[in-house]
Structures are given as structure tokens and as C-alpha cells.
Amino acid sequence: MPKFSSAYYKLLTRWQMLTGNKYFWPVFMIAGLAFCMAASAFDFLDLYLQLILIYVGINIILTVSLNLINGYMGEFSVGHAGFMAIGAYVASLLTVHVFPSGAQNLLFPLAILAGGIGAALVGFLVAIPSFKTRGDYLAIVTLAFCMIVKSVLENIDAVGGPRGLLGMEKLTTLRGFFSGQRLASG
């Protein structure tokens, strides 16, 4: 058992030294972008694996937001899925129903920005009545909000009801997700 803890300690020390270097994260991000560009250009990852990596990236974004609220601030909020759903549905409704079909690729960053603004506005509306709540009460308020969003989205036929929104084109790839670029129209 002491060998395991000693080896673990050495590995942890090396990892902290590596990530403590100011060049580690920029080099890591550039290497990730190069990998994503190579995966798209040379097709050494099939579309299924690329989709899984995109989902992993989306969940990393959600995890970082949860770490910010629950970890650093010490508040127990469980409404992240509701805010994420609102932003996703705003962006999706814009790309499917509002933007012209030929210009969806060009207007995709605008749809993402509008989704973020929509989620932020709803977050502000939820925050107003819950400013004074802390701990378990904040968790109850945000859980109730999340359930309300789920119920509303499942019961409105304009957004697809329980099936979800249909008719969306694929507007991004693994490289586009990683680098923030849109899919080239073609």
C-alpha cells in the first residue's frame, strides 16, 4: 500500500508542476485544435466518435459552470440544465424558423449569442425572487425552475413537445465546436 500512495504522490506532484507552467494550457488548447482539425480533414475519427467528443465538450462546459457556482461560490444550485435548455431552444428556434435557410451557416454565431442572452435574461428573472435564499432553499427554487422548464418544453407543440425540435441542419463539426468556428456552407 505505501508504494501505491508514493507513486500516486509522485504522479500528482508531476501533474501540478506540469499544469502550473504558464505555457501548458495554451499549448494544450492548440494541440486539441490541431487534433480536431486533423480528425475532420483526414477522417480518422468516424462521425459517431466526433459526435461523442462534441457531447463531451458540451458537458465540460456544463461542469465548469457547476464548479463555479457549487465549488467556488459555495451555493447549491441545480437549475443549470434549465438554463442550458432555454439557451439551446432559443438558438435552435432561430436557426430553424427565423433565419433564412441559405444564411443559417453565416448567422449561426448570432443564434448562439442570442441563446446565451435568452438564458441570461431568464436567469435574471429567476434571480430576482431568489436573491435572499441560500443553501437548501436555493436548491429548491432552482430545482423547481428546472422542472417548470422541462414541463413547458414538453407541452408546447411549437418546440416539438416531448420529441424535441426537429428539422435542424448540422451546423458545426468537432473542429468547429473546439475552435468556435461555424461549418462552411456547402
CA atoms of 77 and 135, how far apart (whole Å): 8
pLDDT tens digit sequence for 83-101: 999 998 998 888 888 877 7
Q: Do 116 and 152 lie in a common domain?
A: yes
**Which of 117-121, 152-156, 172-176 has the highest average model confidence (pLDDT)?**
117-121
Q: Do 166 and 150 lie in a common domain?
A: yes
**Of 14, 29, 44, which residue sits at a domain end?**
44
CA atoms of 27 and 162, how far apart (whole Å): 42
Q: Do 63 and 23 lie in a common domain?
A: no
Overall average pLDDT of the 49-78 stretch: 83
Q: What is the pLDDT of residue 118?
A: 95
Q: Do 17 and 86 lie in a common domain?
A: no
The answer to whether residue 148 sits within a structural domain is: yes
The answer to whether residue 12 sits within a structural domain is: yes
Q: Do 155 and 68 lie in a common domain?
A: yes
> Is pLDDT at 110 greater than 50 in this prediction?
yes
CA atoms of 116 and 110, how far apart (whole Å): 10
Residue numbers of the domain that contains 20: 1-44
Distance linking the first and last C-alpha atoms of the chain: 59
The answer to whether residue 95 sits within a structural domain is: yes
pLDDT tens digit sequence for 148-168: 999 999 998 888 888 877 777
The answer to whether residue 185 sits within a structural domain is: no
- Work out how many domains the chain is built from and give that number: 2
Q: What is the pLDDT of residue 183?
A: 41
